[in-house]
């Protein structure tokens, strides 16, 4: 196989299959692309161009991440798989997010770094895929109770439970029982202010979340390539998902034999 002038090695379906040793480790976008082509090839006639591969592999990367997100049994391997995507606005890498006044919601609203709304106070935050927790630094007003310093944990208030929670004396928000809800790309903090028990306001928010994975791009132009940020083993899982997606959309009979193999692998994750 010969290289073209820009140094990238194009895949030629007429050439012999790559030996297993040439497929690993899956570190670069090019190695992932070549592995993908190797897995879908049949009679050396199947070719997917880099742009189409880009769509398949990035959709599969997000699907892979979502499969690792918290559930009842959130094991250590899932945590390790996602650690590269973990964002914490504690001031180490990203600054805490300051409260905003929106309409009559004075100092209880915090911008939420969703895709398309990532620039907050001239700082760019990674796009949020899945929230983990929210903690708030408060400015206490009209409250004689013990006041906590630093960031205080708040509980997420589900929309379908808000009517009951907000009216019940034993569950409604207080300065020592905080809630937050998500509305219009903002996180709204609920303190004793909403119940008329104080004038306490939010000051800053420490938000922990998992961001979207960086896009994987393979191109014959080396400057346009962008490698995966995951480990080779994780990249293998992602490409295998892309292969299943491709075969499914192609209604390929090989899917019937490929999926049982992947399910066997899942037993060890």
List the chain domain ranges.
24-82+214-266, 86-211
Beta-carbon contacts of residue 244 (< 8 Å; ≥ 6 apart) = 255, 258, 259, 262
Is the confidence at residue 30, as pLDDT, over 80? Answer: yes
Alpha helices in 123-169 (DSSP H): 162-167
42: pLDDT confidence band, cut at 50, 70 and 90? low
- At residue 219, the pLDDT reads 94
Q: Distance between CA 211 and CA 181 in Å, rounded?
A: 19
* Better-predicted residue by pLDDT, 160 or 19: 160
Provide the β-strand partners of residue 62: none
Q: What is the mean pLDDT of the chain?
A: 81
Is the confidence at residue 78, as pLDDT, over 50? Answer: yes
Under 8 Å between Cβ of 198 and 175: yes
What stretch of H or E contains 186? strand 186-190
Is the confidence at residue 268, as pLDDT, over 70? Answer: no
User: What 8-state DSSP symbol labels residue 174?
Assistant: B
- pTM for this one? 0.79
- State yes or no: cis peptide before 25, omega within 30 of 0: yes
Q: Distance between CA 179 and CA 151 in Å, rounded?
A: 13
210: pLDDT confidence band, cut at 50, 70 and 90? very high
Give residue-wise pLDDT tens across range 125-148. Answer: 999 999 999 999 999 887 766 677
Provide the β-strand partners of residue 152: 136
- At residue 203, the pLDDT reads 93
Beta-carbon contacts of residue 141 (< 8 Å; ≥ 6 apart) = 198, 199, 200, 201
């Amino acid at each position: 196989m010969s290289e073209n002038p820009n140094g990238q090695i194009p895949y030629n379906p007429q050439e012999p299959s790559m030996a297993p040793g040439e497929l690993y480790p899956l570190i670069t976008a090019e190695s992932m692309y070549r592995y993908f082509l190797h897995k879908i090839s049949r009679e050396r006639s199947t070719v997917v161009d880099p742009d189409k591969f880009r769509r398949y592999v990035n959709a599969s990367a997000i699907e892979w991440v979502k499969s690792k997100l918290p559930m009842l049994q959130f094991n250590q391997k899932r945590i390790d798989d996602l650690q590269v995507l973990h964002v914490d606005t504690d001031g180490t890498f990203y600054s805490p997010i300051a409260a905003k006044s929106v309409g009559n919601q004075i100092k209880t609203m915090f911008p939420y770094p969703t895709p398309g709304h990532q620039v907050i106070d001239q700082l760019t935050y990674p796009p949020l895929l899945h929230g983990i927790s929210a903690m708030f630094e408060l400015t206490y007003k009209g409250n004689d109770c013990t006041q906590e310093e630093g960031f205080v944990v708040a509980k997420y208030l589900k929309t379908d439970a808000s009517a009951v929670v907000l009216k019940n004396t034993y569950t409604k928000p207080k300065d020592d029982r905080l809630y937050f809800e998500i509305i219009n790309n903002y996180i709204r903090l609920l303190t004793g202010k909403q119940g008329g028990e104080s004038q306490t306001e939010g000051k800053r928010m420490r938000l922990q979340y998992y961001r979207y994975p960086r896009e994987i791009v393979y191109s014959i132009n080396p400057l346009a390539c962008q490698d995966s940020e995951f480990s080779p083993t994780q990249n293998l899982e992602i490409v295998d998902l892309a292969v299943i997606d491709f075969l499914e959309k192609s209604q390929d009979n090989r899917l019937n034999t490929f999926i049982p193999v992947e399910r066997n692998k899942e037993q060890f994750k």
